[in-house]
Amino acid sequence: MTGVGAMNPSVHAAGDSASVHPLRSCAKILLTSIFGPYAKDDAYGSRALNPMELYQNQVTRAEGPFSLRMFHRSWGIMMIQANISAPCALLDFPTLERFVSELKSFPYDIVGISSILPNIGKVKKMCDLIRRYLPQAKIVVGGHVANMPGLSKHCDADYVIPGEGVRWFRQFLGEDVDQPIRHPLISSAFGTRTMGIDVKNSGSDTAATLIPSVGCPMGCNFCATSAMFGGKGKFINFYETGDELFSVMAGIAERMGIRSFFVMDENFLLHRKRALRLLELMEKHRKAWSLYVFSSARVVQSYSIEELVRLGISWVWMGLEGKNSQYAKLHGIDTRSLINTLQSHGIRVLGSSIIGLEEHTPENLDEAIEYAVSHGTDFHQFMLYTPIPGTPLYAEHLANQTLKDPGEYHEGDVHGQFIFRHRHPHLKPGQETEFILKAFRRDFEINGPSVLRIARTVLAGWKRYKHFADERIRNRFAWEARDMAVTFPATLWAAQRWFKERNPALVKKLSGLLDEIKQEIGIKARLIAPLVGRFVWTKLREEEKRLKSGLTYEPPTSYEMNKQMFSEMLHKKFPVELINWVSA
């Protein structure tokens, strides 16, 4: 959930100093995401095409049983719960029945709902249920849905909060808004699965989510995150210095037993002073951490490759947008050369490209897709150029009267992977749907499964740094190459067999990569490839059958209480005398 910002006129203003709950920090709070199921077409706006899976949704959606399947918790409401003193329960990915049961089970004073715009129908339903079962409760709505103008006309909320939510909740509860941010322990993903095989999501094998900042300083005209926090140049640092950040990371690493971080910061490397101080401390304390970051190409290029490697940058999510992009962050940058350099040093790249820019036509979109695919990124995201309420792009279309009438589409279908909400100057309705799917299929056809492309980048990093002088760097690359002896040989062997009749050109690439790994690892990889590969081959075929039968994946419901809420629950169920006796 997000927080401070301008309010719709019919709801309370986020910055109103008089808006303090009468119970202050004694108010009992429920924070929740919207209810499931998610990967299913329904009347509330959920769509099978828009599952609660980031990668399957918009990165590997055309890769069938090779698609990377995983779920991510609702990090925003987890941050809020960790940073308030009031009794607070968190309900993540509930069913509708579970949500209703929670409303009936406890007299919450505040219910906060976090959502994106396509799920506005579910937000409305949840608000109606809260009014029915907890009529005294204040309803707070945040997340990207809060960007929608006139949201209060669609859902019965007391507060609509775009922006940063921790400070807003602290203010609402009468707490010190400037106290330090306490970072919760968050695994970056759970329920990970690919090629029909469940992947371990615990210990050092998974990354921790790290949230140093919120907002996006780049200010691209289509960016809902940038708009939600005030536009270009607007962001909030939770940790201003490298010293603060190092302390937080060291604590997370020790408590979770991890050595990698998914850094949820729209342009982490832009804060150069903080990043370089973090590097100093990592070197001083011999931390061989791996960092997965978001960054613009221009900012990445402002660092030397040596600095990136020393800082532990092992994964970069980078906007490529499109050929001849108008965005300043890409001017004068040879993105293909940059990506090749990064990959040659073991840094994996997830490129992001846009389908449906103003200049795109049925005649030039094939060329645009080929340009995107030619980067050979380890993963590639494709998104429709969509005017999201609150963004400059939306304001431009509103002024030009090129937005579709709301009666022409359902909000649940405007999620960046299906249809436009505006009239494109060159593409007929429905063509955007065809072209974005074509982009995914072409990338898969030429570059192969994303989960196997990373093997080439990991191998390149290992070969370059396995004998490096700095033991800290050697240690990191050895850890990142931990799948080289078993997982990569087996999966590449199975993939060769899978594509033998489907895509001979791709088989040649996969075979060459497998031969390189065998040469590097030796007899173990040669033996493992066919032995374990046959097991993977069987799992691939089973997964394909399941997917063809209509199988979808849904995240399980999570429920957590802070210690204040746990105490409240105990007092509700047991006599005070008994609790005091047990405590003694």
Q: Kindly write down the DSSP assignment for every residue of 136-149, as one continuous string.
A: T-EEEEESGGGGST
Q: Using one digit for the tens of pLDDT, what is the confidence trace for 258-298? A: 999 999 998 899 999 999 999 999 999 999 999 999 999 99
Q: What is the pLDDT of residue 330?
A: 66
Q: What is the pLDDT of residue 294?
A: 94
pLDDT tens digits in sequence order for the chain, 584 residues long: 433 232 333 344 443 444 899 999 999 999 999 999 999 999 999 999 999 999 999 999 999 999 999 999 999 999 999 999 999 999 999 999 999 999 999 999 999 999 999 999 999 999 999 999 999 999 999 999 998 888 988 899 999 998 899 999 999 999 999 999 999 999 999 999 999 999 987 777 889 999 999 988 888 899 888 888 888 878 889 999 999 999 999 999 999 999 999 999 988 999 999 999 999 999 999 999 999 999 999 999 999 999 999 999 999 999 997 666 665 556 678 999 999 999 999 999 999 999 999 999 999 999 999 999 999 999 999 999 999 998 999 999 999 999 999 999 999 999 999 999 999 999 999 999 999 999 999 999 999 999 999 999 999 999 999 999 999 999 999 999 999 999 999 999 999 999 999 999 999 999 999 999 999 999 999 999 999 999 999 999 999 999 999 999 999 999 999 999 988 887 776 555 544 544 44
H helical segments located in 448-503: 450-465, 471-480, 487-499
Q: Checking phi first, is residue 332 left (phi over 0); if not, alpha (psi -120 to 50) or beta?
A: left
> Among 456, 462, 544, which residue's Cα sits nearest to residue 497?
544
Q: What is the pLDDT of residue 574?
A: 55
Reading the block at residue 452, the tokens are 């196997």
The overall pTM is greater than 0.95: no
Q: Using one digit for the tens of pLDDT, what is the confidence trace for 125-174? A: 999 999 999 999 999 999 999 988 889 888 999 999 988 999 999 999 99
Q: Is 354 strand, coil or helix?
A: strand
Q: Up-side HSE of residue 211: CA atoms within 13 Å toward CB?
A: 23
Reading the block at residue 334, the tokens are 């040879």
CA distance 288 to 471: 9
Q: Is 549 strand, coil or helix?
A: coil
Residue 32 sits at φ, ψ, to 5 deg, of -145, 150
Q: Checking phi first, is residue 67 left (phi over 0); if not, alpha (psi -120 to 50) or beta?
A: beta
Q: What is the pLDDT of residue 573?
A: 62
Cis peptide leading into residue 575 (ω within 30°): no
Reading the block at residue 163, the tokens are 């922006």
Give the C-alpha distances (Å, rounded to integers) separating 491 from 73, 455, 457, 502.
28, 10, 15, 17
Q: Which residues pair with 210 in a beta bridge?
A: 263
Amino acid, single-letter form, for residue 162: P
